[in-house]
Chains A and B, each alone.
Chain A
Amino acid sequence: MDRQAIPVLTESQKMEGRKFRPSLTSRRKQDQTAGRVLFAVTLLPIALVTLITIGLAARFWPILKVYSFWDLVSGTVWKPQDGLFGFWPFISGTFWVTIVGAGLAIPPCILTALYLSEYARQSTRAIMKPLLDLLAAIPSVVYGVWGVIAIVPLVEKNIAPFFEKYLGFVPIFVSKNPTGYSILSGGIVLAVMIAPFIIAVTYEVLMTVSEGLRQASLAVGATQWQTIRSIILKQTMPGIIAAVVLGATRALGETMAVLMVVGNVPQVPRSIFDTAYPLPALIANNYGEMMSIPLYDAALLGAAFILLVIILIFNIASTLVLQRMLGKRWV
């Protein structure tokens, strides 16, 4: 019966016991203090966005004192040792690769998302979600390895000769580049990389359409496709566009995978078989020497700034649309 005897607390134990049963006032006080501390922590994301933008802009500043912004952005010659910093080959290269990648990814991705949300069985959907998560987790350098092993030779030996033979009269299909390291290779790798992302977001947008609306449409005799075209797509179009733009923004900033397959020659591309040199690749390839030539560091960090601004514009616009669509968030 020893164990059930009521213990006699010493004075210090009583004090200790009090700690676990604090008064309401002190608990309220704790709550409020924690609120203030946590509020400060919550400002971190907002501060970080501002800091990154200002930090890069400040490092970009020295070169803007020498050349005008427009001269830098529209200049086509990149010779840092001669003090020539033209960003146009890199900016246009970035857009070429992104547009080719997004163009290849968008149709199959939207169709796949539609298939998953409208046609697929529950079991297929249940498998697809974890599979998409897995694929989104594959590091970009692995996609790059795949590009070098599989896509570059494919473009070099099959795709480029085919287009040259049958579509060579179209300027953007002219192939003067003897290697497979090209915009098309970069685009294909990017398309596969952003596919899981676009499918997942589009699928989520499609799921916001109420089941009742679908059934009402089917009940009046519309086929599945008619329902998709006139009900589902009509209602979700802004969200789908935002999902696609968000996916394209990922492509815009992708570094390693593109760098490995795109050739990296600073020229303004004319065809999808030309090499390109996107902004992220420029930064990654040259960060080592950037302290050795005057203004080189300002130019490279300026490249990062330009990339950041382009991405921020697309990103904020599409995020706002998505927040509205998915109903969970708004600003």
Chain B
Amino acid sequence: MKKHWHRRHIIEAFVKAVMIFSFIIVAGSLGLILWTVISRGLPALTWSMVSQTPKGGFYLGKEGGILNAIIGSLYLAGGGTLIALLFSLPIALYLETYLGDSRRGQYVRLALDILWGIPSIVYGAFGFIVMLAFGLRASLLGGIIALALIELPIMTRAMDEVIRRMPADLEQAALALGSTRLEIATRVVTRQMLPGIVTAILLAFGRGIGDAAAVLFTAGYTDRIPASILQPAASLPLAVFFQLGMPYPEVQKRAYASALILTIIVLAISLGSRWIAGRLSKYVMK
């Protein structure tokens, strides 16, 4: 049967075309970013970039690499994630098993949403004030604390989202067997929701390692690998930023390579968390 074209059909076709077009624009510009970073970064990427710390004259284009920033970033994000985990797992479990949808629980969730929206530069400034109050210098410790503050709401919210999805009958079955809320939290929820919890941890780690504004204030920057938590620490985002700011093309090329390394790490974490969650979901009740 031949289709009769009314005005509304023409509008329909037009709108659909516009939507597909904007979908392509969004997807395309995002693809463009990856392509730019890879095409500029890959030629400048060498083994010595990832295996050496900066040598003399590194920022003038001489020998060296950014191992200090890679290790520093792993320390910073690792420490921040650990501290954030110490608080966010209890909060997420308490929200679900003790508070549920009560009013008090909603206030805590609102506070988490607000914290989540506070930009990292404000966390950096706040971390700076705290460090001044305690007489701390820019150090690994300061950076870890600032990143822990940034990661706390991200991790808790992500955990809260997955824990809420736990089947209600599982909790009811545990209650019927005489479990207390604490036992449900520690033995049922953490087991059942382990894949989601791991995903949340890695998500927060990814955010932490990519953050530049907060560590700028709190962790400082150094060419050495920090030996104690009171020494300053370099980080990958700042390595990219500082090298890009240098007027020498060789150094700028290294900034592109550093950006590529950072992107690879972040994407690997993101993909890796999916893989791990998939593996862990074998041990979960369907």
Chain A interfacial positions (CB closer than 8 Å to B): 24, 27-28, 30-31, 34-35, 38-39, 41-42, 44-46, 48-49, 51-52, 55-56, 59, 107-109, 111-112, 114-116, 119, 130-131, 133-135, 137-146, 148-150, 192, 195-196, 199, 223-226, 228, 246, 249-250, 252-256, 260, 280, 283-284, 287, 300-301, 304, 307-308, 311-312, 315-316, 319-320, 323, 328-331
B270 interfacial contact with A, CB 8 Å: yes
Whether A284 lies near B33 (C-beta < 8 A) is no
Interface size class of B (residues with CB under 8 A): 35 or more
- Known contacts A256-B237, A287-B217; is-contact A319 B87 (Cβ 8 Å): no
A115: contacting residue among B23, B33, B206, B259, CB under 8 A:
B23
A55: contacting residue among B40, B121, B126, B255, CB under 8 A:
B126
- Known contacts A192-B30, A331-B107; is-contact A255 B15 (Cβ 8 Å): no
Whether B91 lies near A41 (C-beta < 8 A) is yes
B241: contacting residue among A130, A138, A144, CB under 8 A:
A144
- Known contacts A30-B182, A42-B95, A192-B33; is-contact A137 B207 (Cβ 8 Å): yes
- Known contacts A114-B19, A145-B255; is-contact A138 B180 (Cβ 8 Å): no
Interface of A (DSSP majority class): helix
A225 to B112 alpha-carbon distance, docked (Å):
37
Q: Which segment, of B5-13, B48-56, B224-232, faces chain A?
A: B5-13
B166 interfacial contact with A, CB 8 Å: no
Whether A45 lies near B93 (C-beta < 8 A) is no
In the A-B complex, the 6 residue pairs with the smallest Cβ-Cβ separation, listed nearest first, are A253-B119, A139-B210, A108-B22, A31-B180, A38-B94, A115-B19
A156 to B153 alpha-carbon distance, docked (Å):
39
B37: contacting residue among A146, A224, A255, A330, CB under 8 A:
A146
Chain A residues with Cβ below 8 Å from B118 are: 52, 253, 308, 311-312, 315
B181 interfacial contact with A, CB 8 Å: yes
Whether B267 lies near A137 (C-beta < 8 A) is yes
Whether A140 lies near B212 (C-beta < 8 A) is yes
Whether A139 lies near B16 (C-beta < 8 A) is no
A252 to B120 alpha-carbon distance, docked (Å):
11
Q: Which of A146, A196, A249, A300 has the most CB of B within 10 A?
A: A146
Whether B259 lies near A145 (C-beta < 8 A) is yes
Closest to A50 in B: B111
A283: contacting residue among B19, B87, B121, B255, CB under 8 A:
B121
Say how far A144's CB is from chain B's closest CB, in angstroms.
Answer: 7
Chain A residues with Cβ below 8 Å from B164 are: 328
- Known contacts A141-B237, A284-B213, A316-B114; is-contact A301 B125 (Cβ 8 Å): yes
Chain A residues with Cβ below 8 Å from B191 are: none
Chain A residues with Cβ below 8 Å from B207 are: 137
Interface of B (DSSP majority class): helix
A144 to B210 alpha-carbon distance, docked (Å):
12
Whether B240 lies near A142 (C-beta < 8 A) is yes
Chain A residues with Cβ below 8 Å from B18 are: 111
A287 to B15 alpha-carbon distance, docked (Å):
49
Whether A252 lies near B26 (C-beta < 8 A) is no
Chain A residues with Cβ below 8 Å from B203 are: 137
Closest to B269 in A: A137
Q: Mark B98-124, 1 if CB is under 8 A from A, else 0.
A: 110001001111111111011111111
Whether A49 lies near B114 (C-beta < 8 A) is yes
Chain A residues with Cβ below 8 Å from B156 are: 45
B90 interfacial contact with A, CB 8 Å: yes
Whether B213 lies near A41 (C-beta < 8 A) is no
Whether A45 lies near B112 (C-beta < 8 A) is yes
A146 to B41 alpha-carbon distance, docked (Å):
11
Say how far B186's CB is from chain A's closest CB, in angstroms.
Answer: 9
A140 to B206 alpha-carbon distance, docked (Å):
12
25 CB < 8 A contacts A-B = A30-B182, A31-B183, A41-B94, A45-B152, A46-B107, A55-B130, A134-B270, A137-B269, A139-B212, A140-B210, A144-B241, A149-B40, A192-B30, A199-B26, A223-B12, A228-B15, A246-B117, A253-B121, A280-B213, A287-B125, A287-B128, A301-B129, A312-B114, A319-B110, A328-B164
